[in-house]
Amino acid sequence: MNRSNINNLTNLWVTGGISGGYFFTNEEYSVSMVHGADWPNKIWFGRAPDKRMMDTIARKWDLQNVTVVAWGDELPETENLLKEYGFTSKVALTGMSMRLDTVPEPLGKLRIEKVDDNEKAGEWSALFQKAFGYCIHAATVQQTMNKIDYFIGRVDGNAVGTAALFIDNTGIAGIHSMGVVPGYRRMGYAEELLLHTLNTARLRGANYATLQASAMGEGLYLKTGFREDFKLKNFVKK
């Protein structure tokens, strides 16, 4: 499941880069970027990085506008290497997974809409930025909504949260971009978005779901049935 989790996550970044910006890969590392936005804008490694690889990356890419993501047994050594190149840890995440045959039904607290036109794509983008503090460009949502399911949660007509579902070519359902805007948190809406997204994946034939949880979200995911599998970290330039 660790491999499936990473495969879903990196393929999501690839989809965003190919559709809205550009994507580069070789056997050592990959880069997925969208100009004018904060996502995906990721670099990740195909093997444990060393100074030669980092020197090559530093010459070729603007590292001020990208997040380097690392995981696996070599994570401590990678973190030390990245610190030598001016990176600092931005956030630590937990890779999690669960089977979908025991997912509870949604509670009916939200009306949830799928993004299916440009107007909703713009609304989802603005809502995501309120919830997370960084930008997934509306154009990226427009260009990928045939491959990624984007959801908006509403209460009394007010848009309060986002979620995204990416079922990859192996049938793994990745849960992404799940957030609630300030003012509507701690009301059970994140749980409702999660249950809706998980049940959508189950009805579409997925047997397993994966995600990458922040410390704030881990409690909800464990309560729903996810298990902790591995750690990964995001690094940015100081």
Stronger pLDDT, 160 or 62, i.e. the higher one: 160
Q: Tell me: pLDDT of 102 over 90.
A: no
**Which pTM value belongs to this model?**
0.95
Q: What proportion of the chain, given as a percentage, has pLDDT over 70? A: 100
pLDDT of the residue at 36? 85
Q: Which residue do the tokens 């089977």 mark?
A: 99
All domains of the chain in start order, with CATH: 2-94 (no CATH), 99-230 (3.40.630.30)
pLDDT attached to residue 35: 87
Distance from C-alpha of 132 to C-alpha of 232, rounded to nearest angstrom: 19
| DSSP characters over 123-182 | HHHHHHHHHHSS---HHHHHHHTTTSEEEEEEETTEEEEEEEEEE-TTS-EEEEEEEE-T
pLDDT digits (tens, 9 = 90+) for 196-219: 999 999 999 999 999 999 999 999
C-alpha to C-alpha distance for 226 and 232, rounded to whole angstroms = 16
Tell me if 209 sits within 8 A of 167, measured CB to CB.
no
pLDDT value at residue 88: 97
48 contacts 27 by C-beta, under 8 angstroms:
no
DSSP element (H, E) containing 96:
strand 87-99
Q: Given the structure tokens 């299916």, which residue do they identify?
A: 116
Strand pairing report for 29-33 and 111-114: unpaired
Instruction: Compute the mean pLDDT over every residue in the chain, rounded to the nearest whole number.
Output: 96
pLDDT of residue 161: 97
Sheet holding 29-33, edge to edge: 22-25, 29-33, 42-45, 67-71, 227-237, 87-99, 208-213, 173-180, 158-167, 149-155, 111-114
**pLDDT tens per residue, range 124-170:** 999 999 999 999 999 999 999 999 999 999 999 899 999 999 999 99
pLDDT band per the 50, 70, 90 thresholds, residue 107? confident
* The two three-digit tokens of residue 16, written as one number: 């965003």
pLDDT digits (tens, 9 = 90+) for 40-53: 999 999 999 999 99
In the block, residue with structure tokens 């298990």? 227
Position 137, amino acid: H
